[in-house]
Amino acid sequence: MVNYFLPKSHLTAKQLHSLLASGRFSDLHFKIKEGYLLTNDGQSQLSRLEREQTSAAKLGSAANFATVLARFVPYIRTVAVTGSVAYGSAEKWDDIDLFIVTDRKRLWVSAFLALVLVRVNKLLSRRAPHLSTFCLSYVHDEQGFSEESQRNRTNSLFARELLKAKPVAGTREYRRLLEDNAWVGEFFSASYSEKMRDLDGGLDGATNLGDSENAQFSFFLDWVEGVAYIALSRYLRLRAYLTNLKLKSEGEQLRVFEPIITSASCVYTSNFYRWLRALWGE
C-alpha cells in the first residue's frame, strides 16, 4: 500500500499515516484501520478480507487456464492477471482481466484460439461460474507492447499496473519485460526491486511459450493472422458497443470502455482508468 500510494514518493508507513492524519487527502476520505487503507465508510476489514479471498480464488483459476493456453497456443509469450484480481480487491462477478503478450505478428491468431478456449473452459469447467469470467482486456504482440511502453514512459499509472500484474504463465518473459522497462522503477523503486526479487524465486521452467513455428508455415500463418485481425477486430468492436450500451443503461458509466484495436494491440481503456489517470495528474 505504502509503495504505491504516490509515485516517486518513497513513503514509509509512518509517513503515510502522517499524511492522512494531516488532512491532505480529506477530499478522498482515505483512512487506515487495522492495516487496511479504506476509501469509504462502507468498507470494513471483513469486506476487504472477503475480497482478498475472492481474488485469490480467481487468481488460482487464471493460473489453471493459463496452463491450458500455454499448451494450445504456442505463440503466447506471457500471461498475467491485472485489474481488481491482481490488487486483491475483486468482487464475486468481477472479470478476471488477462494481460497477454504474443510473438510478433501472432496476436490475432493467438487471440482467436484464446477466445475459443475461454468459451470451452466455461462449458467444461467444474468450477463456479464466477471463476471463469476471463476477459482479454490487454493483449499485445511483442512489437505492440514495446510501442505501448515507450508511449507511457511518463505514465505512473501504467508503471503501477505493470508492476502489480501477477504472471501466471511465462514468468521469465514477464521478468524480461520489467528488465526492458526498468524506468518503472523510477516511479516505484521499492516495489520494482521487491518484484524482481520475487520473480527470481518463482521463475517457471521450460515451456512451449513463445516457440517459433516452422519457417515453411510462416507465410501461411501471416495470411491467417491478417484474416483473424479483420474478422476479430470487427467482432470485438461490435461486442464492445453492445456491452457499453448495457453498462450505460445500468448507470455503470465508470465501467464503460473504449476498445483500442490495431494489428499489434487490443486494449480496453475504461472510464475508470481515465479517472485514475486524472486523479494521479497524468
Q: Quick one: 31 exposed, middle or buried, by C-beta within 10 A (0-12, 13-18, 19+)?
A: middle
pLDDT, tens only, 77-88: 999 999 999 999
Q: Are residues 137 and 9 in the same domain?
A: no
Which pLDDT score is estimated for 47?
78
Q: Are 64 and 203 in contact (CB under 8 A)?
A: no
Domain end point (choices 28, 43, 58):
43
Beta bridge partners of 282: none
C-alpha cell at 271: 472510464
Its pTM stands at: 0.84
Residue 225 carries which side chain, given as an amino acid letter?
E
Contact at 8 Å (CB) between 78 and 171?
A: yes
Residues 26 and 57 occupy one common structural domain: no
Same domain, residue pair 196 and 106 = yes
Residue 137 belongs to a domain: yes
Any idea which residue has 514468468 for its cell?
A: 171
Structural domain contains residue 252: no
**Stretch 2-21: mean pLDDT:** 60
| pLDDT score, position 277 | 84
149 within domain boundaries: yes
Q: Do residues 29 and 63 both lie within one domain?
A: no
At residue 102, does pLDDT exceed 80? yes
pLDDT in tens, 184-240: 999 988 889 999 999 987 666 444 554 555 666 788 899 999 999 999 999 999 999
- Does residue 81 sit in the same domain as residue 167? yes
Which pLDDT band holds residue 1 (cuts at 50, 70, 90)?
very low
Q: Residue written as cell 516457440? A: 211
Count of all residues that appear for the chain in the document: 282
For residues 152 and 134, state if they share a domain.
yes
pLDDT, tens only, 19-36: 666 666 555 555 666 555
Domain of 104 in residue numbering reads as 45-216+273-279
CATH number (domain holding residue 137):
3.30.460
CA dist 267 and 282 (Å) reads 19
Q: What's the total number of domains in the chain? A: 2
Domain assignment present for 240: no
The answer to whether residue 225 sits within a structural domain is: no
Residue 126: per-residue pLDDT: 83
Q: Cα separation of 265 and 107, whole Å?
A: 7
**Do 131 and 144 share a structural domain?**
yes
Would 223 be classed as within a structural domain?
Answer: no
How confident is the model over 109-159, as pLDDT tens digits?
999 999 999 999 989 888 899 999 999 999 999 999 999 999 999 999 999
Residues 127 and 15 in one domain: no
Q: Dig out the grid coordinates for 88 from the structure.
A: 486483491
The reply to whether 53 and 189 lie within a common domain is: yes
Shared-domain flag, residues 121 and 204: yes
Q: What is the rounded CA–CA span in Å between residue 107 and residue 232? A: 11
User: What tens digit of pLDDT does each residue of 170-188 get?
Assistant: 999 999 999 999 999 999 8
Do 186 and 49 fall within a single domain?
yes
| Tens-digit pLDDT profile for residues 55-70 | 999 999 999 999 999 9
105, with CB counted inside 10 A (0-12, 13-18, 19+), is: buried
- All three cell numbers of 34, joined, read 487495522
- Residue 266 in any domain: the answer is no
